[in-house]
Structure 1
Amino acid sequence: MSEFTHVAEVLAHWEARRPDALALRYAGVDRSWAQLAQRVRRNAAAQRAAGLQPGDRIAVLDLNHPSCLELTLACAQAGTANAVVNFRLAPAEIAYVINDAKVRVLFVGPEFAAAVEALRPTLPTLERVIRVGGPDDEYEGWLAASEPDPAIYPAAPDHCFLQLYTSGTTGFPKGAMLTHRGMLAHSRNLAATQDYGPDSRVQVAMPLFHVGGTSTALVALTSGASVFLMRTPDPAAALAMLESERITHTFYVPALMAVMNDVPGAGARDYSSLQALCYGASPMPMPVLRRALAMFPGVLYQVYGMTEQSGAVSLLPPADHADPAVAHRLLSAGKPITGVEIEIRAPATGERVPTGQPGELWVRSEQRMGGYWGKPEATAAAFTPDGWLRSGDGGHMDADGYIYITDRIKDLIISGGENIYPAEIERVLAEHPAILDVAVIGVPDERWGEVPKAVVVARPGASIDAHEVVAWCRERIAAFKCPKTIDVVAALPRNPTGKILKKDLRKPYWEGRERQVV
């Protein structure tokens, strides 16, 4: 991969070398590198014609569409930034993100146009809404009205061109300012581990508002690969595309893979072109992983990452998935990728802890974001002066350098002086044949201070016997870790990116007590 220093260099590089090669395919429409480069230059010119200045924010509220990638690349050229909005947010949350970013121009897909129209009176900085796709498309006309402008804003390496909002399980999301230096470092570091190149065919199935979606696309484009963009992560369509388009690289979240396992005929397809199937962004239940290993042997990579580091920071390669002698590593997040440092520090003191001892994961790399938009105090709290990011994730590192994520630091349960990590209990409960979904929280206890409680969702047609489930746990983990009570619910509360809202589960039990529920 070339040593790019500015994202705008990527298109010029591959346009010069492979002008007629496929850069992007979406819904049966192909764009060569020359065509994509011209559209991005028109986009940058149209942004300037609209009066947008370097540092201004535009936004996209849409399902996956090529316009989002074109806008992001054009922002890199014009010095602006694309604040991609999570389309799963509630209207009030959408308004918050648009207002927080001070968005001047919003690009909206057909499914969200009516919602935006209703929100317009609450969006004071918004000057224009441009509809993308469908019978009322305005985007193509907006592009056509401007001649391609090759001028590139001389952005500093740490200039933000992409602003992705962290999902957050408390309060409103924060805008992570992703930079030329950070995103290019991520592309370089990840590509080095998975043999990306001009012949790669990369499926982008995850939403572009998520770092897993946009960073996958940028790794592909930076490598000169072809991007195959899906509008939505439909499991059957994604599997069909792996076969029909001879996909070599893709990224999925575990929830999508769980559904894929049940797609009729999924195991009979030809996935022989696949070289790397990355999964991450949430814990992978072992039953789902076992079935995925059977369907996709030799190509699974677990990745652990975060928006604040532009994507992946550690990786568990296929060899560690396949070797029964190191089966325990399936519970790990692998080792740091090239260019990334990870250490385990004591949350209270920031001191390094001994190998094998629990603490907080600290991460340092060139991939780091520029900070949280408009929130200097939150940025200062996240980073140390020497560049370490406090991840908020608890875990440990073994003697071989493998990282094990136990839980969010704030989700730790301290019962009678013992540290209990809910994720450890959740892994055991996820194996129970009657349990579809599970979350473990700490609830107050007069003797022990707090004890684990499991909140579970039953599989269709199954019934759950709480005593039997506790007995199941006692056979597999220490008695003090086992949930003392089991609640059965219809569904677990989740935020728009699918993370379980444990604060909502804990709140009824801790109201009026000294402990702060966050």
Structure 2
Amino acid sequence: MRYDQEYLSIPNAIRRAAERFDDAPAVVDGKIRWSFHELERQMTRAVRAALALGIGPGDRVGICAPNSAEWIVAALGVQGAGGIIVPLNTRFKAAELAYILRKSGAKALLTSPFLGTDYVAELRKHDPELPALRTSVSILGPRGEADLAWPDFLAHGAAVTEGAAHASIDRVTPQDVSDVMFTSGTTGHPKGVILTHEQSLRAYGWMAREYTFRPSDTFLVIPPFFHCFGYKAGWLASFLHGVTVIPMPVFDASRALEIIDREKVSILLGPPTIFQDLIDLPSRSRYDTSSLRVSMTGGTTIPEQLIHAMKDELSFDIVMSAYGLTESTALATTTRLGDGPETVARTTGRPIPDVELRIVDDQERVLPAGEAGEIQVRGYNVTRGYWEEPEATAAAISVDGWLRTGDVGVLDADGNLSIVDRKKDMYIVGGFNAYPAEIERLLLDCPSVAEAAVIGVPDERLGEVGCAYVVSRPDQQPSEADIVAWSRANMANFKVPRHVRLVGELPRNASRKVLKDELRAWFGEGA
């Protein structure tokens, strides 16, 4: 089945799901237990409200809130009005949020106070004059500093008929942009990856079918909705196949096991740390995990012993691994049913249907199996470009459509891809990509920092964390703890360097480029 042709758009896919699955459970979130029919009704209300707010074709709307039923409906409401959602990392600080809202020209912000942070209040203090932003809506919980609470937002929709909402959904085409996913980059500023309804429906409709998603399944979605892992491989893939979605706003191993036991969860995807935490929890034996059936883990190398433990101790029948980056709709390769634990641990599988993958050298000459080089991807899943960044787009995508991933990989004789190295300098903190150039730029805003260079270093718990080598200003004498404390106050938690080294100068070559390999050697020597 071609999901781009069958469903046309993400909101239209929800209408089709309501026709197919009707009163079967679609969303379970606290007191909320919506059927597919009720999910469609909630979506229609949100589309009417978005239209009443003046959101129309091509308008960008930021969403900064934890995983919840309301996040899903808010996104569908914007997309059904023809708008484009801009998912925002709830770990971001005001400066990071303001940059993305300004860059995307977001017309509205749908948000919620979360973990003690009122994002609207913080934005108003940091950047009170975001030129395009007209309205803020609190989609769940207290209104805080937002202009509208969720019930008031929905009440405005009374001015728009249901017929107008359905007509708006009908106008959305497969080629329309569904979302702009901002991803940090080596230039130091996030770039907005443009993705369409067709790309997401086609990629994740296929993935869910390959992973055997079915109407009797229940999916506890732990990866955040601001990431493709939670949004597209999570609730979108689920709804296409009649799977019940349980959003989890904050991961807690004991709470997750309680939900798995009570709701008979059968699907659980996420980074390896989630599964290791579930296995290691001392009280795990008190919970029944026999319902667990399907898993996919990614974001870092997977130890083969973890795959065995996921099957033997958590009862999974199917464990998959996959590879992708936001620019490839976050899905380019995956293992398949029947692949053994060694293949799942050692590789990320083979390209998904209708997608090509090749390994090239520095001159972009194709390399044979067994030789390492840059991974390049071509197909329907590749972004049409970065939001308002034509030069960056041209650098990332060749004229004949090959996406230059910057990742180093090797193909085996069976066509399975193994990731040899990460993008230059990038490291992964508990499943989140961290880019030194961006963190270095943020550190230079610290009043006591004159120069900074960041590298990824091994960490037993998170896989990798940041180590910042810092040259302080002549009139300042910060401690390493001072730099860490400033970082925690001014950047997302996964970006905060866990190690800081104060040095007199950074090692540089004749071109004044910082020698990151030398810094890694310093760290290895304990310096």
Q: TM-score, normalised by structure 1?
A: 0.78
Q: Which letter does structure 1 place at the counterpart of 2:56?
A: Q
SS at match of 1:410: coil
The percent identity for this pair of structures is: 28
Match 2:291 to one of 273, 277, 302 = 273
Cα distance in 2 for residues equivalent to 1:497 and 1:179: 30
Q: Would you say 1:138 and 2:156 are equivalent positions?
A: no
Distance 1:224 1:504, change over 3 A: farther
Q: Per-residue deviation at 1:386?
A: 2.5
Q: Which of 299, 303, 308 in structure 1 is aligned with 2:322?
A: 303
Partner of 2:466: none
**Are positions 1:316 and 2:316 aligned together?**
no
Query: Quick check: 2:74–2:139 contact (8 Å CA) kept in 1?
Result: no
Check if 1:56 corresponds to 2:67. Answer: no
The DSSP-based 3-state class of the residue aligned with 1:209 is coil
1:389 and 1:314 map into 2 onto residues whose CA distance is 14
Partner of 2:416: 402
The Cα offsets for residues 318-358 of structure 1, whole Å up to 9 and x where unpaired, read as: 64344xxxx36622212223333221112x22221011001
Q: 1:512 to 1:130 in 2, by over 3 A?
A: same
1:369 corresponds in structure 2 to 383
Asked if residue 341 in structure 1 is aligned to residue 344 in structure 2, the reply is no
TM-score (normalizing by structure 2): 0.76
Name the CA shift for 1:110/1:245 in 2 (closer, same or farther; >3 Å): same
1:331 counterpart letter in structure 2: R
Matched-pair contact (CA < 8 Å) for 1:39–1:143? no
Q: CA deviation at 1:515?
A: 6.5
- Aligned residues of 2:51 and 2:157 also touching (Cα < 8 A): no
Query: 1:454 & 1:55 partners in 2: Cα distance?
Result: 38
Give yes or no for the alignment of 1:150 onto 2:166.
Answer: yes
Q: Give SS of 2:332's match.
A: strand
Counterpart in the other structure of 1:234: 252
Q: 1:496 to 1:285 in 2, by over 3 A?
A: farther
Q: Does 1:211 align with 2:218?
A: no
Deviations 1:190-245 (A, max 9, x none): 02311123222222111111110101211111222211111222222222222221
Q: Tell me what 1:447 maps to.
A: none
Alignment of 1:479-490 (within 5 A): none
Aligned counterparts of 2:231 and 2:357: Cα–Cα separation in 1: 23
1:363 CA displacement: 1.3
**8 Å contact kept, 1:396–1:404:** yes
Q: Distance in 2 between matches of 1:272 and 1:244?
A: 11
Gap change, CA 1:29 and 1:328, over 3 Å in 2: closer
Q: CA deviation at 1:291?
A: 4.0
> Which of 260, 271, 275 matches 2:278?
260
**Number of residue pairs matched by the alignment:** 448
- Cα distance in 2 for residues equivalent to 1:497 and 1:378: 27
In structure 2, the partner of 1:166 is 183
CA deviations over 1:472-515 (Å, ceiling 9, x no partner):
xxxxxxxxxxxxxxxxxx99x99848479899999964446437
Q: Provide the secondary structure at the position in 1 that maps to 2:38.
A: helix
CA distance in 1, matches of 2:26, 2:97: 31
- What SS class does the counterpart of residue 13 from structure 1 fall into? helix
Find the residue that maps to 1:232 and give its secondary structure: coil
User: Is residue 202 of structure 1 aligned with residue 219 of structure 2?
Assistant: yes
Instruction: Please give the per-residue CA displacement for 1:89-148, whole angstroms capped at 9, x wherever unaligned.
Output: 122111101111111111121233232342351422211111222243711221133144
Would you say 1:247 and 2:258 are equivalent positions?
Answer: no
Residues 244, 345 of structure 1: alpha-carbon distance in 2 compared, 3 angstrom cutoff: same
- Tell me if 1:10 matches 2:27: no
TM-superposition CA deviations, 1:36-78 (whole Å, max 9, x none) = 1122122122222112221111111111122221122223221
Residues 397, 370 of structure 1: CA spacing in aligned structure 2 closer, same or farther, 3 A cutoff? same
Q: 1:39 aligns with which of 34, 39, 42?
A: 42
Match of 2:130 in 1: 123
Q: Distance in 1 between matches of 2:350 and 2:223?
A: 24
Question: Structure 2: which amino acid aligns with 1:312?
Answer: L
Query: Is 1:6–1:157's contact at 8 Å kept on the other side of the alignment?
Result: yes
Distance 1:458 1:48, change over 3 A: closer
Secondary structure of the corresponding residue to residue 121 of structure 1: coil
Q: 1:86 to 1:30 in 2, by over 3 A?
A: same
Matched letter for residue 514 of structure 1: S
Contact 2:320 2:344 survives alignment (8 Å): no
Paired residues of 1:23 and 1:224 also in contact (CA < 8 A): yes
Q: Which of 54, 70, 74 is the matching residue for 2:73?
A: 70
**Aligned AA for 1:341?**
E
Counterparts of 1:275 and 1:44, CA distance in 2: 35
The code of the aligned residue for 1:255 comes to T
Amino acid at match of 2:7: F
The question of whether the paired residues in 2 share the 8 Å contact of 1:362 and 1:388 is answered with: yes
Deviation at 1:8, TM superposition (A): 2.4
SS of 1:352 mapped into structure 2: coil
**1:92 paired to 2:95:** yes
Amino acid at match of 1:139: W
**Secondary structure, aligned partner of 2:219:** strand
CA RMSD of aligned residues (A): 3.4
Structure 2 distance, partners of 1:456, 1:379, is: 32
1: CA distance between counterparts of 2:130 and 2:107? Answer: 9
- The one-letter code of the counterpart of 2:356 is E
Instruction: Report the alpha carbon displacement of residue 365 of structure 1 after superposing the two structures with TM.
Output: 2.5
Unaligned runs of 5+ in 2: 430-434, 436-454, 462-482, 517-527
Distance in 1 between residues matched to 2:417 and 2:25, nearest whole Å:
38
